[in-house]
Amino acid sequence: MSKRYRADYHVHSKHSPDCKVPIDEVCQAAILKGFQEIAITDHFEFYTPGHPVGFFTPKYIGKIFADIEEAQKKYEGSLIIRKGIEFGQPTVNPELARSILEQFQFDYVIGSVHKVGNLSLSNVAYNAHNIEDICLNYFDMLYELADEGEFDCLGHIDMIRLYAAKQGTPLNILEYEEQLIPILRRVIERGKGIEINTTGFRQELSTTLPDISVLKLYRELGGQILTIGSDAHSIADVGSGWSESAILAKLAGFDYVTLYQNRRPMLITIES
């Protein structure tokens, strides 16, 4: 595989409720920025049975697939476009998660925790007094996902650090090593992986999610499967921070990043 091979494995499109960029423009941006491969990973949020599902229906995925298939034809030979999805809290409705995966052949599934209970992490008020309880709840949900959820790689495993930092509540994630280690072990046991999410670079943290300390911990525990994703919700952010993250992965002891086809991982060498 070429040393210049770059693959952004977390990109949103206008199908996500919080993004306005058509898939065609995402693809053009990726090509212009020198990427050979992207995974379109629009949101699919899960709610407890009985709760309104909003956008998140099989029909919604059908529309995303139609757009991806059109782009695959248009950019054949210039860009590999994978059919991804970002599942949010799939463990709150595992039957629906399984049914979606039976109906649609994804290449790659990110598993994320965006909510504690029914409350979005971005809407929680963080302070020095409640941060520990919130983190423990968050890591409980993340463990449940790692243990039994449907996904290929966990998304932004310390996203809570970013939301807390936005409100001036700094968080040292290694204080939660006792919670993180079983999560990482379970990911490894199940043959799954984690991502380096570059969002933190562009926001209050100036580090990736997770940062190098957690990447090293994951590597020491035997972790090998690692993707790199910008989590772009705009054209400007497509591919952002990818090369810096590849260097971080190397520094943390990873020789490979992972690509997926039909949910099967393929490791490619990181060339520096």
- Binding residue (CB under 5 A) for Zn ion from 8, 107, 211, 231: 231
Size of the site for Zn ion (CB under 5 A): 4
Instruction: Tell me the C-alpha distance between 236 and 210, whole Å.
Output: 22
The answer for residues whose C-beta is within 8 angstroms of residue 33's C-beta and 6 or more apart is 238, 239
112 binding Zn ion? (CB under 5 A): yes
Segment contacting Zn ion (CB under 5 A): 92-100, 122-130, 207-215, 228-236?
228-236
How far apart are CB 88 and Zn ion at their closest, in Å?
Answer: 7
Segment contacting Zn ion (CB under 5 A): 45-53, 62-70, 96-104, 152-160?
152-160
CB nearer to Zn ion: pick between 13 and 112? 112
CB nearer to Zn ion: pick between 20 and 272? 20
The Cα-based distances of 1 to 219, 227, 251, 257, 271 in angstroms read: 23, 16, 21, 12, 10
214 within 8 A of 253, measured Cβ to Cβ: no
158 binding Zn ion? (CB under 5 A): no
Segment contacting Zn ion (CB under 5 A): 55-63, 79-87, 115-123, 247-255?
79-87
Q: What is the DSSP letter of 232?
A: B
Segment contacting Zn ion (CB under 5 A): 45-53, 150-158, 234-242, 249-257?
150-158
Instruction: Tell me the C-alpha distance between 196 and 10, whole Å.
Output: 10
Task: State the number of CA atoms in the 13 A half-sphere of 235 facing the CB.
Answer: 11
How far apart are CB 30 and Zn ion at their closest, in Å?
Answer: 16
Q: Is 110 left (phi over 0), alpha (psi -120 to 50) or beta?
A: beta
How far apart are CB 16 and Zn ion at their closest, in Å?
Answer: 8
Phi, psi (5° rounding) for residue 7? -135, 115
How far apart are CB 51 and Zn ion at their closest, in Å?
Answer: 19
How far apart are CB 83 and Zn ion at their closest, in Å?
Answer: 15
Q: How does strand 256-261 pair with strand 264-269?
A: antiparallel
CB nearer to Zn ion: pick between 67 and 237? 237
Q: In the complex, which residues of this chain contact Zn ion (CB under 5 A)?
A: 86, 112, 155, 231
